Structure 1
Amino acid sequence: MTAPDVETVFRAEYGRAVAVLVRLLGDIDLAEEAVQDAFTTALERWPRTGVPPSPAGWIITTARNRAIDRLRREATRDGRHAQAALLHAPDAPPEEGPVRDERLRLLFTCCHPALAMPARVALTLRLLGGLTTAQIARAFLVPEPTMAQRLVRAKAKIRDAGIPYRVPRDADLPDRLAALLAVVYLIFNQGLGESGLCEEAVRLGRLLAELMPDEPEVTGLLALMLLVESRRAARLGEDGTLVPLLEQDRRLWDRSLVAEGQTLVRRCLRRGRPGPYQIQAAIQAVHSDSPGPAHTDWGQILRLYDQLMAVAPSPVVALNRAVAVAETEGPAPALALVDSLEPDLDGYRVLHAVRADLLRRLGRTAEAALAYERAVELSESPAERAHLTRRRREIAPER
């Protein structure tokens, strides 16, 4: 047994172990410390004794015992009460409801509406993903002390507000599920900026699909992420510049992920309960179906965006729909739509990038150059900035 082997178990079981300990202890910090101590012990013992038959069970049992030892040492009244709860936990009746897995219960706690979105994301990555505070801070481009404070405040909010570690009631589940899926998708989109979070988001998506197989929006989100992730190898050129979807070498797409995503989309379609993530996944599936840009069924994509606007209207959806309009009706009507969205999306880099491309197609190069410059100013991705800068240089020399 080597350190990488323990790391594999850590990635697979850390979230479950923390979730179980949080349920038993009602204390996030104590649960985390106990699980970390258990993995430290594993690093010391497993190379000598070998891997136990049930690594997850060993970690959870060892962590539970470490927590009991700590509570005994503290010898406070609250500690004795918590110790008693731990000792009797195996006999506790199971909680009934639509969610019975400890990890999913903790996910709902991390994504509670009482917490701000940055706190939800940070807690989810810390408690379920096992990422360090430094790793999360790097992914979201904030100083480590800032992220550490965010985590501390989020845990305090859970404690002080009495946010329970329990299954949401049936009546609360749709709204709570939407908040949870939004966190996973935000993590995924952050990963598209080369911060390495896509894999973690897909892992969380697979977990959700396993634990909530009857929720079509969960399936839809997983399908959406898989289809977008399938293009990772084609997303950057040899010089590190972003390659837009319609210019990518489709031979580089991961066909196994494409096939899996398309299978999940078909499963959603059979259920006949369309939601935002399912429709977005269907749009990506249409792109994945075509052998090249010239064969893309833009009419079907436009119809799907019309459906998405009916289900979940937003300026961003309207902007994406305008791109489909450009391919079906031409750049002029699409530009009119984009210009109408500018008051709402002036600070959104994609609007200015789309507008620049439409102006370029219409031969209005001076205006296109200004729009490209604005998009570059708003972009945080080096690869995207390089792509937009190159586009600008193609139509106008540097001033």
Structure 2
Amino acid sequence: MEILLTLQVMVENMEPEKVILYPQLFWGCVALMHTDFVHIYCQVLELFCRVIDRLTFRDRTTENVLLSSMPRDEFDINGYASDLHRLESRTTSERLLSVTGTGKVPAFEGVQPLVLKGLMSTVSHGSAIELLSRITIPTCDSIFGSPDTRLLMHITGLLPWLGLQLTREAPPSLGSASPLQEQNQKAYYVSSNISAWCRAKSLDDLAEVFRAYSFGEIMSLEDLFARASPPICAEWFPRHSSLAFGHLLRLLERGPLDYQRVVLLMLKSLLQQTPVDPSQIPQVYNFVSQLVESTLCSEALNVLEALLRSCGGGGQGEEAGFGDNGGHGSGEKVLQSMLLPQSSFKARSGPLQYAAGSGLGSLMGQGGGGSSSAADSGLVARDVALQNTRLLLGRVLDTCALGRKRDHKRLVPFVANVG
């Protein structure tokens, strides 16, 4: 933690044109984003924001420099095993190596998925929004995310936050702007950037929606989602609907409580515009039905009604597992297979965790609350996240001249044996 805070101060006081000379700062942040400790994760996002602020992405120069220094080497399982045996106990090293099986560095899927997972924690949500706002740019898909889905997931990640700002009325201020007014101005700025991004992709209808928001012409949640949903569905659904619905459902389950009503209204608008994949019916039902007995009963029922209409009526719902027997179990299987595909590193890294004794609760995403199987799976997820963080950070250090072992004796010539 202290190292991250020190790096934040160093980068903040560094001349902007010199930051690009240290691409390991960029890739080091990317590696550390794989951690599952939420407070470490927040400080990594803070550091990454400072790095992004001092880089320019107007042309391909920065992108080319970052890509040329991107850690690509295959993981040396034998070398790493020996290091682990030297630094840790045999039991710990074997446990960590057995988690991933192959011991290879996880495939890089872009910065965006690593930031989106921060929206699922009330602690890191604000930092994740801040970073998403800074990377709302139409370039550098090779670094930030897949060109096919990056804009979709950026909108899916930021649209609930933009909608939430419409529910908050800023009090009149005679002096300096209040924090709420500053948030509104920030929302207008982010919306303007999304509009420019949409125009660069020739999505004029969607660009007009965000332009209207940036000029204060959209005043309600219902109006925002009613105008944004048709062009979103026309461009990306149903081809990428599972990706967007999966994110919204995880945000509904794990995100800040303020977002629950916003997400429900957004789900209803999307379901009214597109036929839902039958395999998605159980997961939507399982998440939303839990809110029927809450104060959001009306909104939850509207989502379920839109869900039934989108799949052509109640008959298909019965086939998908909405009956009295086995509906919940079927939904859990679909939920695990779609939201947590084991071939994806984002699934293996697990949700963000709270440090022991922090008073912030137990591991996120463990609904069982104390069962031995849930505890075991939580420990495995934590081990995997730790393993992947160390692997990626090790690859970053290998690309840095000062991090290579062969340079150690040159730095400290009077030491006979290092390590």
- Structure 1 length-normalised TM: 0.37
By percentage of residues, which structure has more helix? Answer: 1
Q: Which has the higher contact order (CA 8 A, sep 6+)?
A: 2
> Larger C-alpha radius of gyration, 1 or 2?
1
- Structure 2 length-normalised TM: 0.35
